[in-house]
Amino acid sequence: MADVRVPAITFFLVTVHLFLSNAATPSPSPAPGPRYIIVDKFGGGDYTRIQDAIAAVPSNNSGPVDIWVKPGIYNERVIVPANKPFITLIGSIEEKQRVVITGKRGGSIKESATVSVLASDFVGQDLIIENTYGRGTQAVALRVTGDRVSFYGCRILSFQDTLFDEAGRHFYSDCLILGATDFICGNAASVFERCHVHSISPYGGAITAQQRTSLDEKTGFTFMDCNITGVKSAILGRPWGNYSRVIFAHTFMSEDGLLRRI
């Protein structure tokens, strides 16, 4: 991969353009005091399935709900509906006791997702989200469509279209995102901060496929202080639409075992 240098002023102006001039109507003030739900696949909590815990959250919820998931492998499809905002899904930081949400589903970019976040004001923390389908078709691990959505310390793993960053304003911090083909794709306005992006492509596949379709859309992907590696060479992105926009700033990219700053 060749070194690329993005002027600091360009990064600053585009970031302001995406996240300040595009300010949305403030979200409703949540009711005081979170509600806590515990998920334990072995029966030690309120529910044994994550989807059952989400189903227990009232529709049009206006107060924060923390769903704590105990370590284990949860083989299920998880959907956070649009009418259930203010949910925080919390896993585990213990390396040997992680929360893994897994699926093996290929085909449609929208229907194959292991986890789909359609609600606004969602937070995911310390989760492993994977789609183990492998090569051959779209196999999304995480689909994000809600607005004001954040992920912290998560691992998002698949092969093709791993992260379908479909729409909305999103923030990813200290996450690992792994895939081979267009594995960060969609038309959201998103910032990736201190994330590790790893390509497992054996043939130089694209890391990003951003889908902005007009100059008027205030969307794009910004990678800041990230680390990009791969098993072989990869390209940073390919256009999915005529106005795709991706920015890499203060990011390391591996080449011949070395890390180079751009």
- Is the model's pLDDT at 199 over the cut of 60? yes
pLDDT at 84: 97
Q: Are 69 and 89 in contact (CB under 8 A)?
A: yes
pLDDT for residue 70: 97
Q: Which helix (H) or strand (E) holds 146?
A: none
pLDDT for residue 16 is more than 60: no
38-94, pLDDT tens digit by residue?
A: 999 999 999 999 999 999 999 999 999 999 999 999 999 999 999 999 999 999 988
What DSSP element (H or E) covers 170? strand 169-173
Catalytic residues: 161, 182
- For the chain, the structural domain boundaries read 8-18+36-261
Lowest-confidence region among 6-10, 92-96, 182-186, 244-248:
6-10
The C-alpha atoms of residue 214 and residue 222 are separated, in whole angstroms, by 18
Which residues make Cβ contacts (< 8 Å) with residue 21, sequence separation at least 6?
A: 218
| Cα-Cα end-to-end distance for the chain | 11
* Mean pLDDT (whole number) for 183-199: 97
- What is the reported pLDDT for 254? 83
117 vs 77, 123, 142, 162, 231, CA distance in Å? 11, 10, 8, 14, 30
17 has pLDDT over 90:
no
CA 152 to chain centre: 9
In CATH terms, 8-18+36-261 corresponds, of 2.160.20.10, 3.40.50.10490, 3.40.50.10540, 2.40.40.20, to 2.160.20.10
Give the pLDDT score at 35: 92
Give me the half-sphere count of Cα atoms (radius 13 Å) on the Cβ side of residue 21: 11
On average, the pLDDT of the chain sits at: 87
pLDDT tens-digit map of 139-164: 999 999 999 999 999 999 999 999 99
Q: Which two tokens stand for residue 175?
A: 């996450």
pLDDT at 28 over 70: no
| Closest by Cα among 150, 202, 208 to 177 | 208
Residue 259 has a pLDDT of 41
Give residue 241's pLDDT: 86
Q: 49: buried, middle or exposed (CB in 10 Å: 19+, 13-18, 0-12)?
A: middle
Nearest CA to 172 out of 159, 181, 160, 188 is that of 188
State the alpha helices, DSSP H only, in the chain.
Answer: 8-19, 50-55
Residue 21 in this model has a pLDDT that exceeds 60: no
Number of H helices, E strands in the chain: 2, 25
Please give the residue that has the higher pLDDT: either 58 or 260. Answer: 58
The structure's pTM equals: 0.86
Q: How many CB atoms lie within 10 A of CB 100?
A: 18
**Per-residue pLDDT at 128 exceeds 70:** yes
Burial class (CB in 10 A: 0-12, 13-18, 19+), 178: buried
